[in-house]
């Protein structure tokens, strides 16, 4: 009786009225929590076994009954032949099923069974319910559109903690990497699905023609950072989307490469570059290139920031004269800052301990001002940090000025701190150059373009010239120890270059005018500091002219004095 009942109804499931199977439907079907009269749902690919056996069995019974009632001569013999034929058919089907079962056996033993054991108690399915009726795991997830499916009982509430546990169980038992997770909890058909994510290419090399063909036509203001899934270019428009960019990544993850890839593209379109690199050797590719200023000492970095900010202020004032549709007459300036965390610390220490000043370092203030002004004045900060904390970025408000954050080789805590609005946290992996480019609340997995130093150099030097139009203090460049220093050392960025040395009566400044706090920041020191130094004498420059109580100096002599002082003071730095 029980055999017949099971043939007709299948196993009882959650209660007597809920069965695992139906009569006509192929495959294992069930309706969880719905009346038996409603159409059952077919789960996964299923097995046609039970329905075939039932239908064939029923037909055989009806046929035998029919033959028996007619009882013509030879009907028993014919019936025997039919039975043999039917038996052979059933055997063939079973044989076919068996070979399939044999093929899947390893897969089930290795993946499905352990997951079944771990997941079944969480979902509350009875032990006699076959795993394949609620769980489908394709042998190769990457090639399967359906992916892994876990059908959920109708009573499943899906509280956050339960969901998380179920997700963790599936991902750990099946060793799934970074996958799309989809919960469907509406209507009757509840399930959880894991599908493979489309991934970016494994490598994106600048030397590949296909990559070059993407980079070459890119908009000058929108350098290509890398390629996303399907080879889609990922870039950020510095003029319209985000003027500054930060990369937060562990050591060796490819920070310097990313910065140089972006910088080289911008230089190719005519931008000039200021590199602030305490590590000294991160950007050898740019050494000696036209339009590049390389600052290695903390004193140079301090000065460069102060000067850049003064220049940006000046551009800001000039910007009023130009409408939105007019090209401003200045060059895009890119400031590449390595090791943000230690540079900020060193700047503060330099101001306090070496210059013996109090308060916030003017270089740190200048850095913040650059962040706030960036877009309008086309001065862009590209910053690298091991961990892009608010403290190292100059405070939370300053950090918010970085519209684009690229994360690579991060841990969960770092992501939650920097991009709390973007969930779920992706798995970071160890592949070099693999990053997540986050902009406007979305992060895109991207394989960053890789350029060798030589390629960067050649690309930056080709295209539009990157030479800075204005450079009023050639002597001062010498003091920075670089042949092509191009940071405009005067705060006002005059469009037409003129050398103050040609006209000694013009271009002289008082200490008041030269100071950073009272005047035009010809040097990065405060008035009080300059005045005391002048009173002490020593190697402080002599005034070129004295007009009554006004003592006038050439800005260059003051700048040289500051440079030499910083150099001798910074010693081993
Ligand atoms: N986009 C990329 N594609 C392939 N390989 C890369 C990529 N970026 C970096 N690499 C590899 O990783 C190495 C380290 O890169 P890079 O020097 O840029 O890292 P970093 O984060 O600046 O390291 P550090 O913290 O030491 O400054 C490179 O020499 C290169 O071999
Ligand atoms: Mg580096």
Query: Residue 204 CA: which ligand 1 atom is closest?
Result: 3
Domain boundary (148, 167, 196) is at 196
Q: How far is CA 220 from CA 223, 271, 402, in A?
A: 7, 9, 19
pLDDT at 4: 53
Q: Is the CB of 448 under 6 A from ligand 1?
A: yes
**For the chain, what percent of residues have pLDDT higher than 70?**
80
pLDDT surpassing 60 at residue 23:
no
Both tokens assigned to 186 = 């509406």
Of 21-30, 53-62, 64-73, 439-448, give the lowest mean pLDDT range. Answer: 21-30
59 and 153 assigned to the same domain: yes
Instruction: Report pLDDT digits (tens) over 129-174.
Output: 999 899 999 887 777 788 999 999 988 877 889 999 999 999 999 9
Residue 487 lies in a domain: no
Q: How far is the CA of 399 from the centre of ligand 2 (A)?
A: 20
Q: Report if residue 494 sits inside a domain.
A: no
- Contact status, residue 21 vs residue 48, Cβ threshold 8 Å: no
Highest mean pLDDT among 220-229, 279-288, 563-572: 220-229
Report yes or no on 260 lying in a domain.
Answer: yes
Contacts 24+ apart (CB under 8 A), 201-205: 201/227, 201/231, 201/447, 202/431, 202/447, 203/433, 203/447, 203/450, 204/433, 204/447, 204/448, 204/449, 204/450, 205/449, 205/450
Q: Assess whether 463 and 518 both reside in one domain.
A: no
CA distances (Å), origin 143, targets 111, 227, 325: 17, 22, 50
Tell me what pLDDT residue 470 has: 38
State the average pLDDT over residues 405-429: 90
Same domain assignment for residues 218 and 90: no
Q: What per-residue confidence (pLDDT) applies to 199?
A: 86
Residues with CB under 5 A from ligand 2 (ion): 255-256, 282
Give the least confident one: 83-92, 408-417, 478-487. Answer: 478-487
Our answer on whether the CB atom of 252 is closer than 6 Å to any ligand 1 atom is yes
One domain for residues 188 and 213 = no
Confidence class of residue 285 from pLDDT cuts 50, 70 and 90?
very high
Question: Do 108 and 247 share a domain, yes or no?
Answer: no
Mean pLDDT of 470-484: 34
Q: Give residue 258 CA to ligand 1 midpoint distance, Å.
A: 8
Q: Which residue has the higher pLDDT, 466 or 136?
A: 136
For residue 399, tell me if it sits in a domain.
Answer: yes
Reference 344, options 305, 380, 313; nearest CA is 305
Instruction: Please indicate whether residue 249, judged by its CB atom, sits closer than 6 Å to ligand 1.
Output: yes
Backbone angles phi, psi at 445, to 5 degrees: -70, 130
DSSP symbol at 282 = T
Given this model, what pLDDT does residue 27 score?
38
The C-alpha atoms of residue 17 and residue 31 are separated, in whole angstroms, by 10
pLDDT the model gives residue 193? 94
Judgement on whether residues 66 and 189 belong to the same structural domain of the protein: yes
Residues 257 and 396 in one domain: yes
pLDDT category at 66 given cuts 50, 70, 90 is: confident
Q: Which region among 14-28, 57-71, 393-407, 411-425 has the lowest average model confidence (pLDDT)?
A: 14-28
Name the DSSP letter for residue 272.
Answer: E
Asked whether residue 532 carries a pLDDT value surpassing 70, the answer given is: yes
Which of 160-164, 245-249, 323-327 shows the lowest mean pLDDT across its residues?
Answer: 323-327
Residue 16 has pLDDT above 60, yes or no: no
Ligand 1: which atom is nearest the Cα of residue 339?
A: 27
- CA 278, CA 342: separation in Å to the nearest integer? 8
CA neighbor of 246 nearest in space, from 468, 454, 419, 447: 419
Residue 397: strand, helix, or coil:
helix
Q: Does pLDDT of 526 surpass 70?
A: yes
pLDDT given for residue 501 in this prediction: 34
Whether 251 is in the pocket of ligand 1, judged by its Cβ within 6 Å, is: yes
Query: Is 485 among the domain residues?
Result: no
Query: Mean of the pLDDT values across residues 499-512?
Result: 58
137 within some domain: yes
Answer yes or no: do 114 and 138 share one domain. Answer: yes
- Which pLDDT tens digit goes with each residue over 177-219? 778 899 998 877 899 999 988 889 999 999 999 999 999 999 9
CA distance 315 to 307: 12
Q: pLDDT tens for residues 483-493?
A: 333 333 333 32
- The rounded Å distance from CA 88 to ligand 1 centre is 65
- Confidence class for position 409, pLDDT limits 50, 70, 90: very high
Sequence-distant (6+) residues with CB within 8 A of 125 are 134, 153
Q: How far is the CA of 211 from the centre of ligand 1 (A)?
A: 18
Percentage helix, strand, coil for the chain under 3-state DSSP, each rounded to 5: 40, 15, 45
Burial bucket for residue 333 (CB in 10 Å: 0-12, 13-18, 19+):
buried
Q: Are residues 190 and 220 both part of a single domain?
A: no
Higher pLDDT, 500 or 109: 109
Contact 573, 567 (CB under 8 A): no
pLDDT for res 26: 43
192 and 226 fall within a common domain:
no
**pLDDT for position 54:** 72
Q: Are residues 378 and 512 in the same domain?
A: no
The single residue listed with the structure tokens 């309008």 is: 376
Ligand 1 nearest-atom number relative to CA 448: 1
Classify residue 87: in a domain, yes or no.
Answer: yes
Q: What is the predicted pLDDT for the residue at 446?
A: 96
Q: If you take atom 1 of ligand 1, which residue's CA is the nearest one?
A: 433
Total domains present in the chain: 3
Q: Is the residue at 250 inside a domain?
A: yes
**Tokens 């992706």 identify what position?**
426
CA distance 68 to 51: 25
Average pLDDT over residues 53-80: 74
Pocket test for ligand 1, best of 252, 259, 409 (most atoms within 8 A of CB): 252
Residues 437 and 413 in one domain: yes
Domain that holds residue 253: 209-479
> What pLDDT is recorded for position 329?
77
Least confident of 49-63, 172-186, 234-248: 49-63
Distance CA 213, CA 405 (A): 25
* Average pLDDT value over all residues in the chain: 80
Q: Tell me: the pLDDT tens digits for 333-392? A: 999 999 999 999 999 999 999 888 888 999 999 999 999 987 789 999 999 999 999 888
Q: In degrees, to the nearest 5, what angle opens at C-alpha 292 toward C-alphas 290 and 296? A: 140
Give the ligand with the smallest distance to the CA of 408.
Answer: 1
Give the end of a domain, one of 167, 196, 225.
196
pLDDT of residue 472: 33
């Amino acid at each position: 009786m029980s055999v017949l009942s099971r043939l007709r109804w299948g196993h009882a499931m959650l209660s007597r009225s809920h069965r695992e199977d139906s009569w006509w439907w192929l495959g294992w079907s069930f309706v969880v929590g719905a009346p038996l009269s409603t159409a059952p749902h077919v789960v996964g690919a299923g097995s046609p076994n039970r329905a075939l056996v039932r239908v064939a069995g029923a037909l055989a019974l009806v046929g035998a009954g029919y033959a028996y009632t007619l009882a013509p001569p030879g009907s028993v013999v014919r019936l025997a032949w039919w039975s043999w034929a039917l038996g052979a058919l059933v055997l063939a089907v079973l044989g076919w099923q068996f070979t399939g079962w044999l093929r899947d056996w390893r897969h089930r033993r290795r993946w499905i069974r352990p997951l079944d054991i771990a997941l079944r108690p969480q979902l509350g399915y009875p032990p006699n319910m076959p795993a394949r009726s609620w769980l489908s795991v394709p042998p190769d997830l990457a090639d399967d559109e359906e992916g892994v499916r876990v059908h959920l009982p109708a009573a499943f509430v899906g509280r956050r903690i339960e969901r998380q546990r179920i997700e963790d169980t599936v991902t750990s038992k099946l060793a799934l990497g970074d996958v799309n997770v989809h919960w469907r909890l509406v209507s009757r058909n509840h399930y959880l699905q894991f599908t493979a994510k489309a991934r970016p290419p494994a490598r994106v090399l600048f030397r590949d023609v296909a990559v070059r063909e993407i980079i070459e036509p890119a908009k000058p203001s929108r350098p290509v950072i890398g390629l996303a899934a399907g080879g889609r270019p990922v870039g950020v428009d510095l003029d319209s989307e985000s003027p500054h960019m930060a990369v937060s990544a562990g050591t060796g993850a490819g920070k310097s490469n990313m910065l140089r890839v972006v910088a080289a593209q911008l230089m190719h379109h005519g931008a000039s570059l200021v590199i602030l690199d305490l590590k000294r050797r991160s950007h050898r590719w740019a050494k000696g290139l036209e339009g590049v200023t390389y600052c290695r000492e903390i004193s140079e970095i301090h000065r460069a920031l102060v000067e850049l900010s003064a220049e940006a202020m000046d551009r800001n004032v000039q910007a009023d004269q130009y409408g939105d549709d007019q090209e401003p007459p200045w060059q895009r300036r890119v400031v590449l800052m390595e090791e943000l965390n230690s540079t900020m610390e060193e700047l503060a220490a330099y101001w306090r301990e070496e210059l013996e000043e109090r308060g916030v370092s003017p270089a740190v203030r200048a850095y913040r001002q650059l962040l706030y002004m960036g877009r309008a004045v086309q001065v862009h900060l590209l910053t690298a940090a091991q961990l892009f904390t608010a403290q190292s970025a100059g405070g939370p408000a300053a950090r918010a000025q970085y519209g684009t954050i690229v994360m690579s080789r991060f841990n969960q805590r770092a992501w939650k701190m920097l991009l709390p609005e973007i969930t779920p946290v992706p798995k970071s992996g160890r592949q070099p150059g693999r990053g997540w480019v986050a902009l406007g609340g979305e992060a895109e997995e991207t394989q960053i373009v890789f350029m060798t130093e030589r390629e960067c150099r050649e690309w930056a030097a080709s295209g539009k010239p990157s030479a800075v139009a204005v450079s009023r203090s050639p002597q001062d460049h010498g003091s920075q120890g670089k042949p092509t220093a191009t940071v405009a050392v005067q705060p006002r960025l005059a469009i037409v270059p003129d050398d103050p040395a040609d006209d000694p009566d013009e271009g002289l400044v008082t200490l008041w005018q030269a100071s950073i706090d009272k005047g035009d920041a010809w040097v990065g020191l405060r008035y009080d500091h300059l005045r005391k130094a002048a009173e002490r004498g020593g190697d402080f420059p002599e005034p070129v002219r004295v007009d009554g109580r006004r003592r006038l100096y050439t800005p260059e002599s003051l700048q040289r004095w500051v440079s030499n002082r910083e150099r001798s003071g910074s010693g081993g730095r």
